[in-house]
Structure 1
């Protein structure tokens, strides 16, 4: 049985935008507005909100990916290009990395940042929806999606799309906020997310609502075991996850048979 974000309400398909129920057709635009708003200061806010720990989470993802020279990598919801930058160095001139994001503002910030850092011909930039990836079957050695899956309207469809474009033996890695294992940590995390986070958003980017949505979207995201099951339903095998920072973040991995 598929795990869906969608519900039926008076014959109108609904999904969640944070804690709010919205029409399925509206969610993509609402999420786009959030990331248009935060794109310019996205990197700065990531450092500020996570106290820089997001860099360690991403470093672990890179190390866990097993990416080697000459391979082809897709970085979905790649935003400002943190993972793409590392992958471009790992795959070398014979490999390729595609930075894909549905949001053109984020994609432009990522492209400008990577070009400023001298990233060259082995990186392409593609505006793409994770639910309908515009790539051939069996194409990538590795796919990553970092802090992006929770914003996707139909996660099952997106995971199936990712599995389709992976080569047999290819790896999907999902880095995402998840459910803390400790009640004490969970309460502290809630207090930070719903009290301090919107205040920081208001002070830095004059946008408390976007950061309130980000906090709510984390709470609506499937927990570790549920996401593992969704990856298995998408046809991936040897699915597993590794909790970081007490389960605040989890890295899931699955292999295409």
Structure 2
């Protein structure tokens, strides 16, 4: 089973994540831009590029949140393609649907509520399944990846965009200072207490290094597994192909 961290059970972690994202849903996009220096959109575009999803293809965005990665997928597959954004948090989905109603997200995206641990789709439905900045937050990251692999067609891809471990010594030290010092300060100024964002930053530090996550992709049966460091390894995109 994937790491649960300090939680006593997968269920306890799931309840905590639900509450956390319900708390930050209305400010999630703005804080992403602040904490990534507005690089998050570029990272999502790179993720879509690496997914290999064809124009006119079908994509599933797992743990879609407010729909930003779903939007990047929709732009790529075009009007003849299909994108489904799935999330288990009602408040995050409400923000995604509100953005869609205002024309900030493509109308073709279908947002549905569901659990990454048991995706409500038949086998071999999609050309790619993506997950952005969420693999470390699911109760069992191996199970989430298994489900993503199950619903992707043979030759399709599963793709994770996730915070990572910088591999350059100086950048590694700067990253540690940012996560442990700057993020809690931003958290307190924006939310009024040290909580959601500081915890998300700590969970990023506790998650698997790039090579270890690539090994998990291989162990689950993916082929042609690769990872691509962005910003010196602060963020990484992992890609695996279904046999």
Specify the TM-score bucket, using the shorter chain as the normaliser.
over 0.9
Residue 128 (structure 2) pairs with residue 156 (structure 1): no
SS at match of 2:91: helix
Taking the aligned partners of 1:57 and 1:118, their CA distance within structure 2 comes to 18
Once the two structures are superposed, residues 18-72 of structure 1 have per-residue CA deviations (whole angstroms, 9 ceiling, x without a partner) of: xx34332211010111111111011110111111111221121122223233211
Residue 53 (structure 2) pairs with residue 67 (structure 1): yes
Long gaps (5+) in structure 2: none
Taking the aligned partners of 1:197 and 1:120, their CA distance within structure 2 comes to 31
Partner of 2:194 in structure 1? 208
Shift of 1:91: 2.4
Partner of 2:221 in structure 1? 235
Taking the aligned partners of 1:212 and 1:89, their CA distance within structure 2 comes to 32
Shift of 1:129: 1.4
Residue 175 (structure 2) pairs with residue 177 (structure 1): no
What is the CA RMSD across the aligned residues, in angstroms? 1.5
Once the two structures are superposed, residues 71-105 of structure 1 have per-residue CA deviations (whole angstroms, 9 ceiling, x without a partner) of: 11001111111121122233233321001112111
Change (3 A) 1:192 1:117: same
Taking the aligned partners of 2:24 and 2:225, their CA distance within structure 1 comes to 33
Aligned residue pair count: 243
Runs of 4+ displaced beyond 3 Å:
118-121
SS at match of 1:93: coil
Taking the aligned partners of 1:54 and 1:171, their CA distance within structure 2 comes to 21
TM-score, normalised to structure 1, is 0.89
Taking the aligned partners of 1:86 and 1:56, their CA distance within structure 2 comes to 10
Long gaps (5+) in structure 1: 6-14
TM-score, normalised to structure 2, is 0.94
Residue 19 (structure 2) pairs with residue 4 (structure 1): no
